[in-house]
Structure formats: C-alpha cells, structure tokens
Amino acid sequence: MTSPDVREFKPLRRREVQRMPEVLARLREIPKLWRGGLQVAPVPVRCEGGRHVLRTARLVLHTPRDFLDMEIGLAAGADADAQHWLGASDRLVVDAATAEHLLGIDDHNRVERLSSFPAAMRRGLTRPLPPGPIAWLLAVDVETGRAAGLSSLTPDGEIGLRLAPTHRGRGLGTELVEATTRLGHAHRGLQTVRAGTERSNDRCRRALSAAGFVPCEGPSQHTLADGRVTDAVWYQHEAKESESLGPRRDPGVV
C-alpha cells in the first residue's frame, strides 16, 4: 500500500535485531533468569476507549495492545516478497529468525517468548501502544491463535496491508481488506476508504476487488520509503446506505 504506515512506529533497533538469534540461543539455556513480573494484557473482547475488535470468518482483528503486538504484525511483512511491495527501508525490518520467533507467539507462549528478549528490550516491548492518528489492526488466525498479518488505516481513509507468508493466497487478504474497510466505515465514520497499490501487485489488486473495492482516480506514481518509484493504481470503497457510519455508540464486536 502507498500509506506511510510504518514510519510513525519506532521498531526494534537494527543492531539489537541482528543479535537476536545469538541472544535467543544463550537465553534459552537460562530461561528462568529472565522470567518474573511479566504480564500479558488480554485481547480486548469489545471495542472501547479507541481500541477495536473485529471478526471475519477466519480472523480476529484487534488494536495492538503493546509494542510487541506491533512488532509481531510488522514481522508478517518482513520477508523479501512483502518488502518488495511495501518498500520499507532496511532499518524497519527484522531478520528472518526474529520474524519467525515473533510470528510464533500466541497468548499461551507470549510470556515465555518475551522472556527470551534482553531486559531492556522486553520493557520496551511490553509498553502499551499509545494512541496515534493511524488505526492498526493485528489480525490473528482463529485456528492457531497466532498472528496472520497487520493492517492500517490513516485518518483520511487509506488502508495498508501485510499478511504473513504462510497466510497469503488463501483468501485471507480479502478478509483483511474487508475488516479494515469496516473499521473505516463503521468505527471511524469514513464514507470512503481508499487503497493505492502497485499496478503489478496482482494479489493485492484482486484482494481489493474481491472485497468490493472499485478503481478510482489517484496519483499515477508513488515513491516507496526505500526510494523505489512505482506505477500506482487506486481503488475505493463507499459505505452502503444501510451501513451505519461510526463512531459506534454501543461498544461491541463488529
């Protein structure tokens, strides 16, 4: 997507990330040393206080609870295929071993996996994510309880998408688009939700079409964060008349 989504998020520092496999191997031998005092905030079950929960057939999507949830979601797009389309700068991307470690986290092993991180990093990861202009959704696979991807919605209604490699090509991209669009219309009160993507990104274009998006006008070129200039195509989705525009009065799962 063309949205500058990850730029507002300060990720793990690259130097620390590069040391992760080494650090993890060492810490696995002395797991108890790093344990104690870690708490996992439960996944919210209702929308409240600017935090959202949505469902699709195979995903539960919620506002990231803390920086760890954000890192897990961003890890879904850390592979070379996703990075080609997303064009994030190197600085923002974790290496393959770290991405695998993060994507293997669920609510049962979260404390254990968190305890593998150095103390200073762990403190940073467990900080609650402060509210910001961009609405993020961490998509969790209901079958496995593990992260499937991450989407974003800017205040003016532009969406961004990334699914983990294991979750691509199974129709989940369409569900991710549908949920993020619902977030825009029903929760954020947006009449129109838009998406810009690269002309040659067939998977993304088809996921948008399958979710009911139609082509619209937009800038024909877009420069990604890594400097690559792309041919952009634009899509939009209008709220149906029957659809209530948010913010919702009654908190609940939509």
Ligand X SMILES: CC(C)(COP(=O)(O)OP(=O)(O)OC[C@H]1O[C@@H](n2cnc3c(N)ncnc32)[C@H](O)[C@@H]1OP(=O)(O)O)[C@@H](O)C(=O)NCCC(=O)NCCS
Interface with ligand X (CB under 6 A)? 1, 77, 82, 85-86, 161-163, 168-174, 176, 197, 201-204, 206-207, 210
Name which of 63 and 151 has its Cβ closer to ligand X: 151
Between the alpha carbon of residue 7 and those of residues 4, 205, 206, the distances in Å are 6, 23, 26
Least distance to ligand X from the beta carbon of 77, Å? 6
Q: Which is nearer to ligand X, 72 or 121 (CB)?
A: 72
Residue 175: CB minimum distance to ligand X, A? 7
Q: CB 232 → ligand X: shortest distance, Å?
A: 9
Q: Which candidate, 190, 188, 180, places its Cα nearest to that of 247?
A: 188
Cβ proximity to ligand X: between 39 and 221 the closer is 221
Q: Which is nearer to ligand X, 115 or 197 (CB)?
A: 197
Give the CB-nearest residue to ligand X: 173
Q: What is the DSSP letter of 187?
A: I
d(CA 166, CA 143): 13
For residue 240, the number of C-alpha atoms closer than 13 Å in the C-beta half-sphere is 5
The whole-angstrom separation of Cα 225 and Cα 22 is: 29
Residue among 94 and 207 whose Cβ is closer to ligand X: 207
Produce one character per residue of 181-214: b if its CB has 16 or more CB atoms within 10 Å, e if not. Answer: bbbbbbbbebeebbbbbbeebeebbebbeebebe
